[in-house]
Amino acid sequence: MIAILVVSHGGLAKEFVEAALHILGEEDPGVTPLCVEWTVDSATAKEQIRKALRKLQEGSKGVLVLTDLFGGTPTNLAMTFFQPGKVEILTGMNLPMLIKAILLRKSGATLTESVPILREKGQSAIVSVSEALDQDAEGAGS
């Protein structure tokens, strides 16, 4: 089973993990938030990521790292640990993506299987309400 490390600016990672697990109605020790606090230096944050990854790699078949923002410090630091098939990184995390990642983890999906599914899920979860309502109105008139 894969493990999931959620890395973000400030407290976002903790809030995302808490929200996803609350929605799913369960706890999952294989999903770990790591908040890169605003005042921490990069070397300390990188060491925190390294330790979290090492711990999650014990007993898992790889670690999926979800980060909040491509080009941001959490992603830049996490990228230094990228190992194809062992440590995969997806940026631009959103709540539907995280929920799907937890469900894939529980299903036994591999990192290789999970990454494209999660990328698509994250993108497809972005919806313009005005466009969705316009489509509903068009469908009702047909």
pLDDT, tens only, 103-117: 999 999 999 999 999
State how far the alpha carbon of 87 is from the alpha carbons of 36, 79, 105, 124, 133, in Å.
Answer: 19, 9, 14, 24, 40
pLDDT, tens only, 74-84: 999 999 999 99
pTM for this entry: 0.92
The CATH number that applies at residue 114 is: 3.40.50.510
| Dist CA 56 CA 45 (whole Å) | 17
| Dist CA 80 CA 71 (whole Å) | 13
Token pair in block for residue 75: 């992603």
With a cut of 70, say whether residue 140 has pLDDT above it.
Answer: no
Domain that holds residue 42: 3-141
Q: Considering its fold, how many domains does the chain have in total?
A: 1
With a cut of 60, say whether residue 141 has pLDDT above it.
Answer: no
Token pair in block for residue 87: 């440590």
pLDDT range class, residue 56, cuts 50, 70, 90: very high
